[in-house]
Every structure is written in C-alpha cells, then in structure tokens.
C-alpha cells in the first residue's frame, strides 16, 4: 500500500508543481497556487483513505464497528477536502477552479496511469 501511495502521491505533486510553473509563466499565478493547494489536500486524502482501509477490514466481522469506522473516515476526509475549498473562497490569491482540479489530481493520475500508460506499454510488449 505504501508503495502505491508513494508512487501516485509523488507523481501528483510533481505534475501539480510543473503545471503550476507553466501557469505562473502564462500569468495565471492564482490558478497555479490553487492547483498545488488542491493537490496537497488530495494527497492527504489519499493517505488517510489508505490508513482507514486496514481498520475497516479488521472490523468487518462487527457491522456496527465497521459502519462507525466508515462514517468517521468519510467525515474526516470530507472535512479535509473542504479546507482548501474554503481557503480558495476566502483568499483571492488562490483560484477556486485550480483547487477543484487539484483535489482530483491523484485520481486523474491513477486513471492516466491505468488507462493510458499501462495500455500503451502492454500493447508495445506484444
């Protein structure tokens, strides 16, 4: 699990920083800041999700404990994802759309990796 988290989280942060630098060069500093901020919280969300999976599996025999852990996990993750959105609403230097895109950075990279890179590499090997 940690290897997967390291892979996708580092790729997400690198992609966000590169995209932010490009946006800053084109004069869109606030969108770049939003992208990096959203990506950072996307990474935190992904790590927390990975931490709660073993707890949910260990408590799978007790339905009430598993439900409580699932509720706490979802509530905590939603609260964490709300932080950059609130910051972007309150602070003019951080663009809301950049934050929203950044919040999906880990998921977008996972899709890109699975749908494009793995298909391309598997077709090339055959």
Radius of gyration (C-alpha) of the chain in whole angstroms: 17
The parent domain of residue 50 ranges over 2-118
Task: Report the pLDDT value the prediction gives residue 2, as an integer from 0 to 100.
Answer: 81
Residue 105 included in any domain: yes
pLDDT at 61: 66
User: What is the chain's mean pLDDT, rounded?
Assistant: 88
Residue 92, φ and ψ in degrees, nearest 5? -70, -20
d(CA 114, CA 31) in angstroms, rounded, equals 27
Residue 108: its pLDDT value, please?
92
Longest dimension (CA), the chain: 55
In a domain, 125, yes or no: no
Residue 86 lies in a domain: yes
- 87 within 8 A of 93, measured Cβ to Cβ: no
Residue 13 counted as domain residue: yes
Q: How many domains does the chain have?
A: 1
- Model pTM score: 0.83
pLDDT tens sequence across 50-92: 887 777 666 666 778 778 878 888 999 999 999 999 999 999 9
pLDDT tens figures, 26-37: 999 999 999 999
Residue 124, in any domain of the structure: no
**pLDDT of residue 126 exceeding 60:** no
């Amino acid at each position: 699990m940690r290897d997967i988290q390291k892979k996708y989280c580092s790729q997400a942060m690198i992609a966000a920083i590169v995209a932010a630098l490009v946006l800053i060069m084109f004069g869109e500093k606030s969108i770049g800041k939003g992208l990096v901020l959203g990506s950072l919280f996307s990474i935190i969300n992904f790590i927390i999700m990975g931490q709660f999976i073993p707890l949910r599996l260990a408590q799978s025999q007790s339905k009430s404990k598993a439900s409580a852990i699932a509720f706490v996990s979802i509530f905590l993750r939603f609260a964490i994802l709300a932080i950059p959105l609130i910051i972007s609403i309150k602070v003019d230097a951080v663009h809301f759309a950049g934050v929203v895109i950044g919040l999906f950075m880990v998921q977008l990279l996972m899709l890109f990796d699975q749908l494009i890179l793995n298909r391309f590499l598997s077709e090339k090997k055959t």
